[in-house]
Amino acid sequence: MKILLKGIEFDDNVSVAGYQSRGGYESFRKALSMSPDSVVDEVKKSGLRGRGGAGFPTGIKWSFFIPRKTEKPIYLIINADESEPGTFKDRLIMERNPHLLLEGILCGAWALQAQKTFIYIRGEYAYPYTVMKQAIKECYEKGLLGQNILGSGFSHDVIIHRGAGAYICGEETALMNSLEGKKGQPRLKPPFPAGYGLYGMPTNINNVETICNIPFIVQNGGDAYFKIGVEKSSGTKLISASGHIKKPGIYEVEMGYPLLDFINNECGGMLEGRKIKCIIPGGSSTPVMTGEELVGVNLDYESMRLAGSSLGCAGFMVLDDTADMVEVLLNLTKFYAHESCGQCTPCREGGHWIEKIVQRIADGQGRPEDIALIQSVCGQIAGHTICAFGDTMVMPYQSILKKFASEFEAKISLNPNSLVAKSKRLAVLQENQL
Amino acid sequence: MNEQNLDLITLTIDDLEVSVPKGTVIIEAAKQVHAKIPHYCYHKSLSIVGNCRMCQVEVEGAPKLMIACHTQVQPGMKVRTHQTSDKVREAQASTLEMILINHPLDCTVCDQAGHCKLQDYHFEYNAQPSRFIETKVSKVKAEPLGPTVMLDAERCIMCTRCIRFCDEVTKTSELGMVNRGDRSMISINPGKELNNPFSGNVVDLCPVGALTHKQWRFNTRIWYTKQVDTICTGCSTGCSVKLAIRDNQVVHVKSRPNSATKQDWLCDEGRYGFHRFIPKHHLKDASVKQQVVSIADALNNLEALKSNDTAFLLAPDLFLEDFYLVKKFRESFAPEAQVAVAYRGRSLTELEKILISPDYAANFRSAQYLGLISDNPESDYQTLLNKIYNQEIKNLVLVGDRAIDLQDLNSEIVSAITKLSLSVAIIADADSALRTTCNVVLPSRSVYQKAGLMISNKLRLQYSERLLDFDFSTHPHWRYFEMLASKFGKSITLAKEDREMTLALLAEINADPSDLNTNLRLVRKQGLEIAFQ
């Protein structure tokens, strides 16, 4: 089943002609023949959930705009600031299937009656940016964007903006601040973007992958989409698989696909002679799952949640038994400490504090009480910050520390200055004397 | 805002019921039950950013703690502050621990020590040793942000009050936040410097010692100073200020938020310009034609003042008491005499207009209040100056050091005054040109050496406190008029010192003379609105 990766094998897919030769922009023509509200209804029926990580139902999000009492323009933002470590699915869509994204935008814009769409693309995505830019240009030339699109009377503009490389700008309100030319720092909520978003206007924000599902839903109806996947997680999901597997890459699977099957079939299994140690399933900000925990887990939001982790944005990082979990944690803490926006106290100070402690443990200077200290600092960060950054940051930390505590203890016990090491040396000495 | 028209919302805070208008945030509502919620970034006159996380409270039904500065009250809300919730106490202690991990803890040399919110809150809400043993982040320690303010980025807790002040109040946007994470710091925006007319306020706003006045850095420990709540005598806005005094010197000026006027700021001129009210050398002796004499002897030469050819030229920073006795004296002995206040208007930029009044005349309203001068004080003043030039008057009484505005005090006016048959100056500054110009000079006190009432531009009766010591050989200005009046045979007041005089005046102004002390307390604290008859 290919919804999102349809046609990516053809090089001419990046042109309007090539895309249209495979049925492109038919969905948008169909959407124009429907009323905006009925498009929203189809999306609601489809059970599509946001692919950015939180999994909020897209139809419900869109229905906030149904009353349309406001005189203000409605803006649509496409979050293409894909910076989550281990996630690279949107990049493929934008590189190989840019018109699918644009068609999704047009359908969504029609449904929301939005005036403008802003695509906020990650700064480092230079090539996808040029592809998207070219695609937008071509759409304007072919009359698929701009004034009076396809003679329907509907006008829409798409503006693509490159970020400057901050992870936090993937957070919706920070993204808006960044688009407005301010420092990319999350805003306090309320007000929520649906009422007061970009430039103070009602704004809807969707992930690239989410919006790319819309053409299929419009074309085949919400019910057809709902039948794909499992009950509470419908449709397909792009999974960016990386790590110690034979075939890393991006795979489109139906929701509810067994996780171990995915690793063994799609990914070609673990590297020769290696054993699976753990996976970080949803991009780096989700709790890790050990090899034993993977049995019987399916790739959908509910199943992953029951297993104690989250599907997130499906940035699969598979680690084998050669991975040093102290180094893994150090890597993660360095990333999050570097990317904290510095606005609110717990995340700004706590993130760095943890990084320094983990660095010390990795350097062989750990103390036995450090593990409890990190856990305690994690507890001080989670739930006390403006945005979800603090919460998502501590989730992998806490789970790694809990599930691989023995590795940390082993590393700490090697500290020549630690009490454990001292007492061990003492024991050896006493034994020798006896 | 008429509060009766607003919907009131009832909620409980720490099990106590409060009713507040719709849209109030919890932190303000809590003030009604005297639950002081600790905060750094919140300021009632600035926008809300909610980044310090110090004001977290527990709201029943909410999954996590809410910040009291941003959460608006809802009907039936049940709020628990640190007084009743362990969870909140834990969160506050943890926030303080986080704030302090990269703080240099250089309290021993920090100007803020003693009035620092970090110290206060740490003792009150955490008081635990830090668990942080790593190396602290180092940042710049002394960066000048402009001509008046220095930044110590290590002490900064990133509450961004200073940024918001420059963005929202002065709208000059000199400050910004650079870098991310724990490297983030306050900095001046490229190509700018913090030199707006209200720059000193960012130091008042800073809850810690990150921003300091260039002028007063490393000057004194705050606990060695006497802090006096008074008003600024720079212009007729009459902002509330808090002055710190040590060894008979003003060492620090802070704005004092006044809940009645809803004014929180102070201009740099008022803050750094108080020196102009303190003479370098104080006049101690009376003199007649440059010869030192006793005050009694000097007063003997003033019989001629009982004439309608006398004119009174008054400084605009005299107190209501002084104006009052001038009025009484004039009524009794020279009813037709000319009176003017040395009022000179000034032009202001749009930015200055948010606070500063277009004058240097702190108390000209008092003279208007007493009917001494007209609605156009500037033309009164110019008319009288012209009369002096043209020798149309015979006797001139100059009351106060600025009885002639410094811009007008040139050789022409000096020679015109010397030609008058009698000129009297009641001044405090020994270096004043008036001292050598006038026939009779009487030693008085500068505005900080006496206490009295002032009326602001917006008709608010306020009280200026005595801040500095005075020489006992001097008298306040009003006292000379009483001495003269009793000499001329008709006493005009029974008061002997400032406070008696103030109470006597208050009794006259106020409808309820029975409770003068309460009234005076109110006037001293926040002022009292009065109406012109």
- DSSP result, A102-140: HHHHHHHHHHHT-SEEEEEE-TT-HHHHHHHHHHHHHHH
Position B531 pLDDT exceeds 90:
no
**What whole-number distance in Å separates Cα of residue A121 and Cα of residue A164?**
9
Query: Element (H or E) spanning A410, and its range?
Result: helix A405-413
Determine the distance in angstroms separating the CA of A105 from the nearest CA of chain B, rounded to an integer: 32
**What whole-number distance in Å separates Cα of residue B464 and Cα of residue B91?**
43
Q: Could A337 and B181 be called an inter-chain contact, meaning their C-beta atoms sit closer than 8 Å? A: yes
- 3-state secondary structure (DSSP) of residue B478: helix
Q: Could A342 and B182 be called an inter-chain contact, meaning their C-beta atoms sit closer than 8 Å? A: yes
- As a whole-number percent, the residues of chain A with pLDDT over 90 amount to 88
Q: Could B52 and A344 be called an inter-chain contact, meaning their C-beta atoms sit closer than 8 Å? A: yes
For A153-192, what is each residue's pLDDT tens digit? 999 999 999 999 899 999 999 999 999 999 999 999 899 9
pLDDT band for position A1 (cuts 50, 70, 90): confident
Determine the distance in angstroms separating the CA of A257 from the nearest CA of chain B, rounded to an integer: 33
For B354-366, what is each residue's pLDDT tens digit? 999 999 999 999 9
User: What pLDDT sits at residue B135?
Assistant: 93
Interchain contact B243–A (C-beta under 8 A): no
Q: Which residues pair with A117 in a beta bridge?
A: A76, A158
Q: Which residues have C-beta within 8 Å of that of residue B25, sequence separation ≥ 6?
A: B48, B68, B69, B70, B71, B72, B73
Position B301 pLDDT exceeds 70:
yes
Q: Which residues pair with B11 in a beta bridge?
A: B18
Range with the poorest average pLDDT among A106-120, B292-306, B496-510: B496-510
Can you tell me the mean pLDDT for A3-21? 94
Position B510 pLDDT exceeds 80:
no
For A28-62, what is each residue's pLDDT tens digit? 999 999 999 999 999 999 999 999 888 999 999 99
> SS3 string of A300-360?
CHHHHHHCCCCCCCCEEEEEECCCCHHHHHHHHHHHHHHHCCCCCHHHHHHHHHHHHHHHH
Of the two residues B506 and B464, the one the predictor is more confident about is B464
Phi, psi angles (nearest 5°) of residue A107: -60, -45
Range with the poorest average pLDDT among B141-145, B204-208, B394-398, B490-494: B490-494
Sheet strands side by side (includes B460-464): B452-455, B460-464, B528-529
Position A421 pLDDT exceeds 90:
no
DSSP conformational letter for A74: P
Calculate the alpha carbon distances from A375 to A342, A347, A362, B131, B506 in Å: 21, 14, 17, 13, 65
**What whole-number distance in Å separates Cα of residue A295 and Cα of residue A315?**
19
**What whole-number distance in Å separates Cα of residue A208 and Cα of residue A170?**
12
For B402-458, what is each residue's pLDDT tens digit? 999 888 888 889 999 999 999 999 999 999 999 999 999 999 999 999 999 999 999
Determine the distance in angstroms separating the CA of A10 from the nearest CA of chain B, rounded to an integer: 42
For A56-95, what is each residue's pLDDT tens digit? 999 999 998 877 666 889 999 999 999 999 999 999 999 9
- Neighboring chain B residues of A342 at a CB cutoff of 8 Å: 158, 177, 179-184
Q: Which of B70, B97, B181 sits opposite A351 (nearest CB)?
A: B181
Assembly ipTM: 0.90
Residue A176 token pair? 């808006």
Can you tell me the mean pLDDT for A93-110? 96
For B165-179, what is each residue's pLDDT tens digit? 999 999 999 999 999
Q: Which residues pair with B252 in a beta bridge?
A: B244
Residue A157 token pair? 């503009």
- Neighboring chain A residues of B182 at a CB cutoff of 8 Å: 337, 340, 342, 348-349, 351-352
Can you tell me the mean pLDDT for B307-318? 92
**What whole-number distance in Å separates Cα of residue A273 and Cα of residue B399?**
101
This model's pTM is above 0.90: yes
User: What pLDDT sits at residue A133?
Assistant: 96
Q: Which of A340, A360, A386 sits opposite B181 (nearest CB)?
A: A340
**What whole-number distance in Å separates Cα of residue A109 and Cα of residue A73?**
12
User: What pLDDT sits at residue B143?
Assistant: 93
**What whole-number distance in Å separates Cα of residue B424 and Cα of residue B421?**
10
pLDDT band for position B3 (cuts 50, 70, 90): very low
- As a whole-number percent, the residues of chain B with pLDDT over 70 amount to 97
User: What pLDDT sits at residue B506?
Assistant: 85
In chain A, the residue whose alpha carbon lies closest to the alpha carbon of B183 is A342
User: What pLDDT sits at residue A68?
Assistant: 67
B494 within 8 A of B504, measured Cβ to Cβ: yes
Q: Which residues have C-beta within 8 Å of that of residue B427, sequence separation ≥ 6?
A: B283, B398, B400, B401, B403, B434, B435, B441, B442, B443, B444
- The letter for the amino acid at B150 is M
Q: Could B158 and A345 be called an inter-chain contact, meaning their C-beta atoms sit closer than 8 Å? A: yes
Interface-testing mutation among A344, A381, A389, with chain B (most B C-beta atoms within 10 A): A344
Q: Which of A166, A343, A350 sits opposite B98 (nearest CB)?
A: A350
User: What pLDDT sits at residue A430?
Assistant: 83
Interchain contact B50–A (C-beta under 8 A): yes
Position B2 pLDDT exceeds 50:
no
B519 within 8 A of B528, measured Cβ to Cβ: yes
Position B1 pLDDT exceeds 60:
no
Q: Could B134 and A166 be called an inter-chain contact, meaning their C-beta atoms sit closer than 8 Å? A: no
Torsion sign (Cα): A133, A136, A140, A142: positive
Can you tell me the mean pLDDT for B201-209? 96
Position B533 pLDDT exceeds 70:
no
Mean pLDDT, rounded, of chain A: 93
User: What pLDDT sits at residue B4?
Assistant: 52
Q: Which residues have C-beta within 8 Å of that of residue A194, sequence separation ≥ 6?
A: A61, A64, A65, A202, A203, A204
Taking the alpha carbons at both ends of chain A, their separation in whole angstroms is 72
Residue A308's region, left for phi above 0, alpha for psi from -120 to 50, else beta, is left
Would you say how long chain B is, in residues?
533
User: What pLDDT sits at residue B514?
Assistant: 64
Q: Could B158 and A373 be called an inter-chain contact, meaning their C-beta atoms sit closer than 8 Å? A: no
Can you tell me the mean pLDDT for B82-105? 94
Q: Could B181 and A350 be called an inter-chain contact, meaning their C-beta atoms sit closer than 8 Å? A: no
The candidate with the shortest Cα–Cα distance to A101, out of A206, A224, A202, A171, is A206
**What whole-number distance in Å separates Cα of residue B453 and Cα of residue B464?**
6
The candidate with the shortest Cα–Cα distance to A168, out of B180, B64, B98, B159, is B180
The candidate with the shortest Cα–Cα distance to B313, out of B369, B395, B376, B371, is B395
Q: Is B115 exposed, middle or buried (0-12, 13-18, 19+ CB in 10 A)?
A: middle
- The letter for the amino acid at B320 is L
Position B515 pLDDT exceeds 90:
no
**What whole-number distance in Å separates Cα of residue B529 and Cα of residue A285?**
59
Mean pLDDT, rounded, of chain B: 92
Q: Could A342 and B183 be called an inter-chain contact, meaning their C-beta atoms sit closer than 8 Å? A: yes
DSSP secondary structure string, A158-206?
EEEEE--S-GGGGSHHHHHHHHTTS---PPPSSSPTTTS-GGGS-EEEE
User: What pLDDT sits at residue A64?
Assistant: 87
